[in-house]
Amino acid sequence: MAKFLSDNDKDFIWNNSGMTLNLMTEYEVVPTPQNYHLWYTHAAQSDLNLTKVIDSMIAKKMPFNEELNEKLYEKFFSTEKELKTIVETGATFQKELAKIVSVLKEAGEDTSVHTRTLLDQMGKLSDFEGSNELKDIIQVIVADTNKIKDQSEKLEGKLEESTTKIQSLQTNLENSRIESRTDALTNIGNRKYFEEKMTEYLDNFYKRGDDFCLILCDIDFFKKFNDNYGHQVGDQVLKVVAHIIKKELGLKGSAARYGGEEFAILLPKAKLEDGVKLAEQIRKALSQRTIKNKNTGAHFGRITMSFGVANMNKHSSREDLIQKSDSALYLSKCNGRNMVQSELQLDQVVTTTASA
């Protein structure tokens, strides 16, 4: 039976919706569905921990930019941790079920051997005094043994069925985890995937000293594609770029859509020159591609990208690495676009400026 809202419920929802929009306007929060969910919950005070955190940030006059809102939403609403825990628990449970099924199969085989042995011995009994009583006892034992065998086989079948269901559930959950890390338009990693991979590579760096490179790249004059030809052409450009990045990168690292028309590439166990070399390969491959209308054959122009490359070292932090790569990307833009610049060029710029 449908549950209808009372007048009081309706009044609360209307009032809280108005308060939510006022707060989002006041703190310049973009009204996306995700942000609205976050701030509606805060306005309604239905999650006191969330309200406390946001009130504290307001008191500190922190800017509620896209990154901060995304982190808040992930912390309070994301099911990612739960999904991961379920997958890991399911994997452990599946292993234990497999062990039980294996033991039951072995027990069933042992039971069959035991039954055959008893029947063989019963057949060898002669008709001496008391042999019929002994045969009756053996037949009872055989009957009970067969019952145990049947029960084991039924239990084994049920456990195998449960194992299949768990495997299916795990597959679905893993697909959900992959989907939550994939950019829907370009079919490569999204910002969450990038952050996860960055953490993984940083852990390897601190534990084993594995170097890695970060490449940030940005489509040149992307706004013009959207303004002149429409967002559908712009989306096509993003797909082409993502495809070429994946093709040139292969299995050497991880790529993600960093935001808008900007992409990020993480290259593990690579030195700075390796990152520069890969960036140059991608740049050349892209510059040879043109976008055209499939129906009319009209050309929309060539795609070019600018690249910034930085390398993780013992003097770098996560923020330093991103800043160096971003600064090198900005230098590429300033120097004419469609080029690769690395943190070495930043050092040269600083040195030249200082000497001047």
Q: What is the pLDDT of residues 129-179, one digit of tens each?
A: 455 555 565 566 656 666 666 666 665 666 666 566 666 656 666 666 667
* pLDDT tens digits for range 201-239: 999 898 888 889 999 999 998 888 788 888 888 888 999
Q: Are 258 and 198 within 8 A, CB to CB?
A: no
State in words which class domain 191-355 has.
alpha beta
The CA distance from 355 to 210, in Å, is: 35
Q: How many whole angstroms separate alpha carbon 64 and alpha carbon 67? A: 8
Task: Determine which helix (DSSP H) or strand (DSSP E) holds 259, and give its type and residue range.
Answer: strand 254-259
240: its two tokens: 């082409």
Q: Does residue 322 surpass a pLDDT of 70?
A: yes
Angle between helices 48-59 and 66-77 (to 10 degrees): 160
**Closest of 24, 38, 43 to residue 78, by C-alpha:** 38
Domain segments of the chain as ranges: 7-77, 81-180, 191-355
Q: Which residue has the tokens 């079919």?
A: 187
What's the helix, strand, coil split of the chain in %, to 5?
A: 70, 10, 20
> Is pLDDT of 1 > 70?
no
Q: Is the pLDDT of residue 2 over 50?
A: no
Give the separation between CA 266 and CA 252, rounded to whole angstroms.
Answer: 9
- In the prediction, which pLDDT does 321 show? 94
Minimum mean pLDDT among 61-75, 172-186, 261-275, 301-315: which range?
Answer: 172-186
**pLDDT at residue number 15:** 77
Residue 16: pLDDT band by 50, 70, 90 thresholds? confident
Across the range 70-83, mean pLDDT stands at: 70
Q: Which amino acid is at 340?
A: V
pLDDT band at 6 (very low <50, low <70, confident <90, very high): low
